[in-house]
Amino acid sequence: MSGFDEYKLGDLLTFQRGFDITKSEQQEGDVPIVSSSGISSFHNQSKSSAPGVVIGRKGSLGTVHYLKAKYWPHDTTLWVKDFKGNDPRFIYYFLQTLHLENFDVGSSNPTLNRNHLHKIRVLFPKKQQKKIAAVLSAYDDLIDNNRRRIELLEQMAEELYREWFVRFRFPGYRQAKFEKGLPVDWERKALGSLGTYLNGYAFKPSDLSLAGIPVIKIKEINGGVTAETPRNSGESIAKKYHFDDGSIIFSWSATLAVKIWDQGPGLLNQHLFKVAPVDVIPSSFLYLSIKFCLPIFDSLTTGSTMKHIKRKELDAVKIGLPGKAILEAFDRSASPLVQEKLKLSKSNQLLIEARNQLLTRLISGKLPVDQLDIQFPPSMREADAARQEVAYA
């Protein structure tokens, strides 16, 4: 294959085992501690400069993470100590195509051995790697930009809710009369009365496969749908357990979280509520009310192994409910923020899908880049400048 030559992986980079650190040893700071599944916490000291590439050594094998700032690679990872002149961003993309999870050497716990990985023979494009990385980085920069916009929209919606229903600075608040901490024409209502809360279906292992509709569990609420997410055809699952974009999904067990779903059709697994507002309650108001009350629910959790809230807690937690006019006015301001979030999320899903398709074709050489006039995206130019600063320091 033109431009591609065979090397041992160890000829292209050097992996180093990460460094152990306990929770009690961590100090408050902004240095990410990178475990096998990604950033797990933060510390005030680093063990490696940026840019960096880290892979999962134990637990989540072969997962690949790119770090733009100095970091601490955890003992459950291997980090690239020496890129041997190769572009770190390209190495990040290249390692994703090797399926390193298949090189497990653990007898009981999945484990990668760096010495075994160094011996893997690979086809590698020495000359075209920066161009390939530039194409893929352009997609990732767009994805990251959308994620930042999504976070900003979420913060704006939360601040709007806080302004109206916590600080009580809603339209006309100066004329409002208060009694016992609430405007006199408001009601104190239980969250459980503002919507219906459907608990998910108890899927058995025999119900799950790799084809069909994703079965959404707690993991997907926090990390999204992946290729490993179990699926079911959905044909024998009652329609009430089906949901789509815009649905409010509330994880009431283990990690309490609430999300307006944005990843297409899904099937509701147990330990999750599908929440639907009742009467005149806008979806945006109910979603943000639950989110605002999550710390309260967290304090009410029970269970020795898996913390959870009980259905009665939904009736124990109460909020101030305004009249229809204020609810409608709030929804007119909040709903566009929620809809823009959904739009950006769908855009990101398309970008991720396109990037992943390009990834395999570019890294394999099926899609050549040698004749393309490619402009390096800002993220790569910034990374090059940072490396030069480290080199001259």
pLDDT at residue 386 in the model: 56
Supply the DSSP symbol for 359: H
Distance, in Å, from the CA atom of 51 to the CA atom of 165, rounded to the nearest integer, reads 43
For residue 166, report the phi and psi dihedrals to the nearest 5 degrees.
-115, -50
Superfamily designation of domain 5-127? DNA methylase specificity domains (3.90.220.20)
Distance, in Å, from the CA atom of 161 to the CA atom of 168, rounded to the nearest integer, reads 9
3-state secondary structure of 221: helix
Q: Are 381 and 133 in contact (CB under 8 A)?
A: no
Residues spanned by CATH 3.90.220.20 within the chain?
Answer: 5-127, 146-342
CATH topology for the 146-342 domain: Adenine-n6-DNA-methyltransferase TaqI; Chain A, domain 2 (3.90.220)
Q: Is 308 left (phi over 0), alpha (psi -120 to 50) or beta?
A: beta
At 32-90, the pLDDT tens digits run 999 998 999 999 999 999 999 999 999 888 899 999 999 999 999 999 999 999 999 99
CA–centroid distance for 16 within its chain: 26
**DSSP result, 154-178:** HHHHHHHHHHHHTS---TTGGG--E
Reported as type and span, the H/E element at residue 81 is strand 77-82
Find the DSSP H helices in 13-128: 88-96, 114-118
Count of helix runs (H) and strand runs (E) in the chain: 9, 21
Distance, in Å, from the CA atom of 64 to the CA atom of 89, rounded to the nearest integer, reads 11
- Among 18, 80, 70, 75, smallest CA distance to 44 is for 70
> How do the pLDDT tens digits run along the chain, 393 residues long?
667 899 999 999 999 999 999 999 999 999 999 999 899 999 999 999 999 999 999 988 889 999 999 999 999 999 999 999 999 999 999 999 999 988 888 766 788 999 999 999 999 998 889 999 999 999 999 999 999 999 999 999 999 999 999 999 999 999 999 998 999 999 999 999 999 999 999 999 999 998 999 999 998 998 889 888 999 999 999 999 999 999 999 999 888 999 999 999 999 999 999 999 998 999 999 999 999 999 999 898 887 677 889 889 999 999 999 999 999 999 999 999 999 999 999 999 999 999 999 999 999 888 888 776 667 666 766 665 555 554 444
pLDDT at residue 337 in the model: 97
